[in-house]
Every structure is written in C-alpha cells, then in structure tokens.
Amino acid sequence: MGRAVAIETIKLRKTYGTLTAVDDLTFQVYAGEIFGLLGPNGAGKSTTLRILITLLRPTSGQALVLGHDVAQEPDTIRRLIGYVPQERAIDRFLTGREHLLLLADLYHLPKDEAQRRIPELLKLVDLEDRADQPARTYSGGMKRKLDIACGLLPNPKVVFLDEPTLGLDVQSRLRIWDYVRQLKARGITIVMTTNYLDEADQLCDRLAIIDGGRIRAMGSPAELKAGLGGDIVSLTIGASDAGRVDALAAALRALPMVRAVMAKPAGLDIRVESSEKALPAVLEAANRTSCRLELVDYHRPRLDDVFVAHTGHLIREEFPQGEQD
C-alpha cells in the first residue's frame, strides 16, 4: 500500500533499571492522520511520546520521525515537529504573546516571519483579546489553547499532543477536538496520547491500545470494534448475590454461543455471537445459579469493550473534572 509513513518505530524499548516502561513497540503512523496512543496512566504512552520528540533516548530499538532517527538526528527532528506537553507548561508571568515570541526565537524564526505567524496563531486559538495579559489570568482551557498555539508556531509537519484534554470541561474539550481536526485538514500529522475512550473513538483515525508498556491492539476505532464481532450482553447483579457471580460466570462459559465472560464491578460482560440468540440461555443460566439480575443490557461492541477484551481490565477513566488551577 502506498501510504506515506510519517513515523515508524521498530521494537522500541525503554527501561529504567529493572522497570520496563515500554517494550517491543512496533508501529507506523501515516502522513496526515490522527494517530492515538490509548491506555491508562502509566501504560507507557507518555514515554513513547517523549522518545519520539527526542526528550528520551530509547534503550533499544529504533524510531524514525519523518525519516530521521531519534537517536542520531534529534536536532533535525526538533526543527520539524511541534509539541504540546501534558502539563500546562505555561509561564504564569509571561503574556500569551510573549510565550510565542520566546518560542519564535528558540525555533530561530526570522523576525518578520514571527511577526506574521504570531497574530495568525493567536487568532486560530481565539486568544487575540487576551494575548497581552499574563498567563496566570487564563482559565485552564485558555492555557491549553496557548499550549496548542505554541506547538504550532514552528509550522510543524508533525504535532505531538500529550493528553490534550486532560482535566478540561466539556466545552473546552470540544473546542480542542475542533482545533485538532483543523490541523489534520491542513495536512499535519498528529500523534496524541489519551486515556479517554470517547476522545480516542471520535478523534483518532487509528489507535494503538497500550497497556503495561506493550501494544495490545492497533487499527481504526471501527476496525477494532468490528474485530471484536458479535454483541456484548451486560449483566448487573445485586450485591446480595455477589457470592454467586463466579458460579454464573462458569455456567455462562459452558454455553456454546458465549465467546468470553469478563467480570466488571457489580456484574459481568458477556461477548456473544448474537444477543437475540444468546439472551434466553443467559437468563436461564442466571436462574439456574440463583443470581438475581438487576439490569440486563446489550449493545454492539464499544471501544471500552475493545479495551477490556485486549487488556483484560477496564481503562481507569478519570472523568473530566472541570478547570483546574
């Protein structure tokens, strides 16, 4: 297939002493796509990102960004990429415009180019009105916008976003998603980490699900969901019957139409070929093991089902907590 590759990693590995942060990562990011690294905190997403932006050296394996090796040519790569860090990496005392002026000099932009690009970027992220106020007066969402403007200043071919909407309120998240889509429309390749399933599902063209430092599954959200196949029947079981859940799980696993049974808080998720055909048998099994079902629900596989199926556990989702700081 002739798709241009923007980023390629081959058996990438990073260890700290005895701890392996990422292990045997091999993936490709195509030019012009939004590629997501999805996983819980501590899965190795940020480590992978830091290797790609040349802030960390891999222990072994190789990573190429736009054809340049991260270990051999870090300086060339730094000139070609933009980075939006996870923390609000903002100097409280500088104004938004001063942030951009500082970075313009660090990217060695000529004065006239900086004069032209900075107002453009402030306009893109709707910060024109507040550009000359110190960043300590900014809300969380505004800081994030400034972060993004900073990441775009060098006119990069690839932009790396580390948890772009962590801790933002719903409106701000939607705005940020909108900016990310605009970048893609300009032909920029985007690599982002996230631990939000909905973000991965709606924003990313392709995903790598990372857990425990390894890639567990890779593909577009639709492919990943289709790959699971069938339906998910979700049972909620009362606390009084918690002791009988194991017996029910065993009974379900014995059924021919059941592909997998996974425990979840206060119930079970059952992957089946077809919920219509499986439901009577599932209910019968619950009856047989005297488990009282509080709620029975069935749906097509969602990304959270994909995640559970490949990692064996739920992603520990932190809900957006509104603006902080």
Partner 1 sequence: MHEYVQEVGALTMRWVRRLSREKFSMLFTLVQPMLFWLIFFGNLFQRAADVQVTQAPNYISFLAAGVVVMTVLNNGLAGGVDLLFDKENGFLERLMSTPINRTSVVVSRFLFVTTITCLQVLVILGVAWFFGVEAATGLPGIAMILLISMLFGVGLTAISMALAFSVKSHGDFFSVLGFLSLPMIFLSSALVPLQAMPAWMSFLAKFNPMTWAIDAVRPLILSGWAEALPKIGMVVMIMLVFDAVCLYGSARAFRRAMG
The rounded distance, in Å, linking the Cα atoms of 115 and 102 is 12
For residue 42, with 0-12 CB atoms within 10 Å meaning exposed, 13-18 middle and 19 or more buried, which class applies?
middle
Does 270 sit near partner 1 (CB under 8 A)?
A: no
Closest CA to 184 of 49, 66, 31: 31
Question: Contact region for partner 1 (CB under 8 A) — 80-88, 173-181, 277-285, 311-319?
Answer: 80-88
Does 55 sit near partner 1 (CB under 8 A)?
A: yes
Q: How far is the CB of 89 from partner 1 (least distance, A)?
A: 4
Please name the amino acid found at residue 277.
K
Contact 290, 283 (CB under 8 A): no
Does 166 sit near partner 1 (CB under 8 A)?
A: no
Contact 42, 19 (CB under 8 A): no
**Which DSSP string do the residues of 264-288 spell out, in sequence order?**
ETTEEEEEES-HHHHHHHHHHHHHH
The rounded distance, in Å, linking the Cα atoms of 165 and 113 is 30
Does 22 sit near partner 1 (CB under 8 A)?
A: no
Nearer to partner 1, 101 or 249 (CB): 101
Does 56 sit near partner 1 (CB under 8 A)?
A: yes
Q: How far is the CB of 272 from partner 1 (least distance, A)?
A: 46
Q: Which of 27, 83, 179, 307 binds partner 1 (CB under 8 A)?
A: 83
Does 86 sit near partner 1 (CB under 8 A)?
A: yes
Question: Contact region for partner 1 (CB under 8 A) — 106-114, 188-196, 250-258, 308-316?
Answer: 106-114
Q: How many residues bind partner 1 (CB under 8 A)?
A: 31
**Which DSSP string do the residues of 65-100 spell out, in sequence order?**
ETTEETTT-HHHHHHHEEEE-SS----TTSBHHHHH
Does 57 sit near partner 1 (CB under 8 A)?
A: yes
Does 101 sit near partner 1 (CB under 8 A)?
A: yes
**Which DSSP string do the residues of 180-225 spell out, in sequence order?**
HHHHHHTT-EEEEEE--HHHHHHH-SEEEEEETTEEEEEE-HHHHH
Does 102 sit near partner 1 (CB under 8 A)?
A: yes
Does 85 sit near partner 1 (CB under 8 A)?
A: yes
Closest CA to 232 of 308, 307, 300: 300
Estimate to the nearest angstrom the gap between the alpha carbon of 316 and the chain centroid. 13
Nearer to partner 1, 108 or 186 (CB): 108
Nearer to partner 1, 152 or 268 (CB): 152
Question: Contact region for partner 1 (CB under 8 A) — 37-45, 82-90, 118-126, 298-306?
Answer: 82-90
The rounded distance, in Å, linking the Cα atoms of 285 and 241 is 14
Under rule CB under 8 A, which residues in 128-157 are in contact with partner 1? 134, 150, 154
Q: How far is the CB of 104 from partner 1 (least distance, A)?
A: 8
Q: Which of 13, 33, 59, 89 binds partner 1 (CB under 8 A)?
A: 89
Which residues contact partner 1 (rule: CB under 8 A)?
A: 50, 53-57, 75, 78-79, 81, 83, 85-91, 93-94, 98, 101-103, 105-108, 134, 150, 154
